[in-house]
Structure 1
Amino acid sequence: MSTPAIILTVLGAVAFMEVFAWWAHKYVMHGWGWGWHRDHHEPHDNALEKNDLFAVVFGSIVVAMFAIGYYVSDFLWWSALGITIYGLIYTAIHDGLVHQRYFRVVPKRGYAKRLVQAHKLHHATVGKEGGVSFGFLWARDPAALKADLRRQREAGTAVVRDSAGAGL
């Protein structure tokens, strides 16, 4: 593969993963995979969550992509690299910045603050029904997300936590 093709493949895989992550989060994790994802939405003192099993499954798929790509397809190998880069970004932002599993930094402004606010609003609902902001690296305006949560609460399609719902 040419250098421009490699760069496009890697960047395309990173972008694809944000779309895939949104879909998997909304329809798998908040659907039939709720049994693994539930503890991510509940308070606990454990270092690991059942939710971390998703990373093991998805990581295993990427390892297979690297192995098959090495022997069969440059495109598959470089796609696996893009997915890995997305995974590293996700881990740093979602687990590190948002959930503070690795470090304690509270952003005061800009993109990082918007991501943290959007994800906190995602966690504002009780249970798997309803909710907002299922992506990880792209976050809508928190005011729009609050309005969506308010509509869901009023329609009875989501139960919003009292502390999170105070500003709705």
Structure 2
Amino acid sequence: MSTLYGILLFGATVAFMEAFAYGMHRWVMHGRLGWLLHASHHRERHGPFELNDLYAVIFAAPSIALIWMGTTGGWGPPAVWIGAGIAVYGAIYFGFHDIIVHRRIAHRVVPRSRYFKRIVQAHRLHHAVETREGTVSFGFIYAPPVERLKALLRKGDRSGVRAPKGGSTDLHD
């Protein structure tokens, strides 16, 4: 297997993982069964961990298995490249979501680019809803335009919309 093919397979895996993560977030994590773990992420966290963190373990398992089987189990280099793509997507997710957006590790990074600002705003709009239904923006490294997300929130059922500290649920800001 050529290195170029491996790099293409790796890149395709990272791109596929965004689509996969979107679907898992929207229809599994916000579904009836998946909400059992994910609900903790839409509530105030007490301590360094939340039940939702178990998803990291669940999603890391295929990556570990593919790398292991690719290096020792006879599956060969394609499995390693795919497993590495899944792992890198997980690292990107951890960096954007857990560190930059949720500040689970102290840092001084201030999103300044339009892209970073859009990702952070989109995820904050996702968390404007405390319930499993009625929320917007399920991707992690891609987010629709913020104005479109605000419009979707305005159109939806407002029962799960979290009131900001000022008490208003106005999405016109």
TM-score relative to the length of structure 1: 0.92
Percent identity of paired positions between Structure 1 and Structure 2: 44
- Aligned partners of 1:112 and 1:100: how far apart in 2? 14
RMSD between aligned alpha carbons? 1.5
User: Is contact 1:97-1:103 (8 Å) kept?
Assistant: no
- Aligned partners of 1:73 and 1:165: how far apart in 2? 53
Tell me the equivalent position of 1:9.
Answer: 9
- Return the offset for 1:75: 1.1
1:48-99 Cα deviation digits (max 9, x unpaired): 1110101111112211111112221321110000111111111111000000
Letter aligned with residue 74 of structure 1: P
Q: Which runs of 5+ in 1 are unaligned?
A: none
* Aligned positions of 1:54-93 closer than 5 A: 54-70=55-71, 71-93=74-96
Tell me the equivalent position of 1:52.
Answer: 53
Q: Which runs of 5+ in 2 are unaligned?
A: none
TM-score relative to the length of structure 2: 0.89
Aligned length: 165
- Show structure 1 runs of 4+ deviating over 6 A: none
Tell me the equivalent position of 2:140.
Answer: 136
* Structure having the larger proportion of residues in helix: 1
